[in-house]
Amino acid sequence: MKFGVVVFPGSNCDQDVIDALQHTTQKEVVRLWHKDHDLQNCDFIVLPGGFSYGDYLRSGAIARFSPIMQEVVKFANSGGYVWGICNGFQILTEAGLLPGALLRNTSQQFICQNVYITPTNTEALPTALLEPGKAYQIPIAHGEGRFHADADTLKELEDNGQIMFRYCDANGQVTDVCNCNGSLLNIAGVTNKNKNVFGMMPHPERAVDPELNNTDGRLLFESLLQAVQA
């Protein structure tokens, strides 16, 4: 298993993801520059958080046209695993690899805080070892994280089990009060129909180190590795 982390101009969570992958999976991790066309035979691609191209136009709208995204799209469409975190999630929706869109938070403010999310099922690689209905504390840091989709798409997401995470309280209860950014159905993460492309706004790579008093994010990295190797 070899992981590739794509670096765009403005990425600022690439090293966090690299450290998290190396420490939790003990596998090879390489950087993939946005101007390249070579995925270096990686088995799993991660698009990290940050502010690619300064978030001009819309978050992820310019990064979607980076040369390497041509290869990421081909890779994903052929069944390869791709995980987008925060800005990476935004890029995947702009590229059409994931449904929906990420809009400005209802507060119209950038939000940086710990939140709770709960997995809806264990069918996605990052949720394979998690417990549906249980709350996991994961940090968020975004200004455009409000998940939006039309009614038909939302129904399809629910029917196909494509909703990966929902915002919840410390007890795992999904309520309007804990919907930090106004996402429809409290959605914090989704997958594509084939469940090989994943996107989420919270940052699990910021919750893997005991020194930060939070290791809930470590479970997501361990989950995807175990699921892939099973």
pLDDT, tens digit, for every residue of 90-144?
Answer: 999 999 999 999 999 999 999 999 999 999 999 999 999 999 999 999 999 999 9
Q: Which pLDDT belongs to residue 110?
A: 96
Q: pTM for this structure?
A: 0.96
Q: Which pLDDT belongs to residue 8?
A: 96
Q: How many CB atoms lie within 10 A of CB 229?
A: 9
d(CA 120, CA 189): 10
d(CA 48, CA 18): 9
b/e sequence 171-186, b meaning 16+ C-beta within 10 Å: ebebeeebbbbbbbbb
What helix, strand, coil percent values describe the chain, rounded to 5? 30, 25, 45
**Alpha helices, DSSP H only, in the chain?**
14-25, 67-77, 87-94, 151-159, 218-229
Q: Which pLDDT belongs to residue 57?
A: 79
Domains of the chain with bracketed CATH: 2-229 (3.40.50.880)
Active site amino acids: 86, 203, 205
pLDDT, tens digit, for every residue of 43-73?
Answer: 999 999 999 998 887 898 999 999 999 999 9
Residue partners of 80: CB distance under 8 A and separation at least 6: 43, 44, 45, 196
d(CA 114, CA 68): 32
* Amino acid sitting at position 58: R
Q: Which pLDDT belongs to residue 230?
A: 57
Q: Which pLDDT belongs to residue 73?
A: 98
d(CA 78, CA 56): 30
pLDDT, tens digit, for every residue of 103-118?
Answer: 999 999 999 999 999 9
Torsions phi, psi of 12, nearest 5? -135, 5
pLDDT, tens digit, for every residue of 154-209?
Answer: 999 999 999 999 999 999 999 999 999 999 999 999 999 999 999 999 999 999 99
Place of tokens 């993939």: 32
SS3 (DSSP) at 190: strand
Q: CB-side exposure of 89: number of CA atoms within 13 Å?
A: 27
Q: How confident is the model over 34-40, as a mean pLDDT?
A: 96
pLDDT, tens digit, for every residue of 1-12?
Answer: 899 999 999 999
Contact 99, 149 (CB under 8 A): yes
